[in-house]
Amino acid sequence: MRMHRVTFPLWFLSIFIITLTFCSVLKATVSTIKTGYRVTKSTVKGTVWVVRETYQFTKEATNLVYHIGEFTFEVVRAPLALPLVRDEIQTIDGLPVTEAIRLGRVKTAPYTVNGSRYIPMTVTSAQIYEETGLASWYGEETRRLPGGSMRTNGELFNPDGLTAAHKYLPLPTHVQVTNLENGRSIMVRVNDHGPFPSRHNPASGKRIIDVSRGAAEQLGFVEQGTARVHVETIQLQEG
């Protein structure tokens, strides 16, 4: 049997090489970390925290995907040009907000809102945090923003995700939120500051946590707007 050699024109080979190069560059610039965690029980009641912190971005990572039991968290680093979800935050660690985010000076840094100074808990203090109070939800208005909006720690805000805002917890922190009115309980990633008193509703600043719409749906209080909840930090272990 006579064999025929297959040849390709030079223009086809050039396009093929360019395509491979482009894919390699894209893969390098948009990297994703994927891992899983399980909740571990502490021997001392109330002492719950994150054992490993690989759920935070590395310098090379743009996206982050991880699981805590049945809950999946997809985190995307936001472009610094995006507007903040909490535009009332004026400074963080004495710096403009985006500059503090760029320098990574957000986790436990003091910040100002409408002239008032807030000082987050230390990491050690947050280990034993638990509180009962009123929760609300927010973020529906951000759907109208082209390109989205940014959380206080530089993450892209997804209204459908399982995230939350807290005035004093380090960013990010994972907490378990239990709706005391219906018994539903979920885990959320605290990656924003708030809620704060508003001009039309000063009492809103007394709420202990503000969750995303997606979290409020799972907790069952979207329609009523608020719910009495119990919040506590959780301990995670990779695996």
Q: Residue 14: inside a domain, yes or no?
A: no
Q: Residue 228: inside a domain, yes or no?
A: yes
The pLDDT score that the predictor gives to residue 198 is 82
β-pairing, 89-92 vs 95-96, is: antiparallel
Mean pLDDT value of segment 223-232: 96
Residue 11 tokens, joined = 């223009």
User: At 148, is the pLDDT very low, low, confident or very high (cuts 50, 70, 90)?
Assistant: confident
CATH of residue 140: 2.40.40.10
User: At 141, is the pLDDT very low, low, confident or very high (cuts 50, 70, 90)?
Assistant: low
Q: Residue 58: inside a domain, yes or no?
A: yes
Q: C-alpha angle with apex 67: 179 to 125, nearest 5 degrees? A: 60
> Per the structure, how many domains does the chain have?
1
Of 149 and 202, the one with more pLDDT: 149
Phi/psi at 70 (nearest 5 deg)? -85, -5
Q: Residue 220: inside a domain, yes or no?
A: yes
Q: 25-34, 65-74, 125-134, 182-191: which range is least confident on average?
A: 25-34
Range of the domain at 101: 39-238
The pLDDT score that the predictor gives to residue 201 is 78
Q: Residue 22: inside a domain, yes or no?
A: no
Residue 40 tokens, joined = 């571990």
CA–CA separation, 139 and 222 (whole Å): 12
The pLDDT score that the predictor gives to residue 175 is 93
Q: What is the pLDDT of residues 72-119, one digit of tens each?
A: 888 888 999 999 988 899 999 999 999 999 999 999 999 999 999 999
Residue 115 tokens, joined = 């002239």
The pLDDT score that the predictor gives to residue 57 is 62
Of 209 and 145, the one with more pLDDT: 209
pTM: 0.77
Q: What is the pLDDT of residues 166-204, one digit of tens each?
A: 999 999 999 999 999 999 999 999 999 999 998 777 777
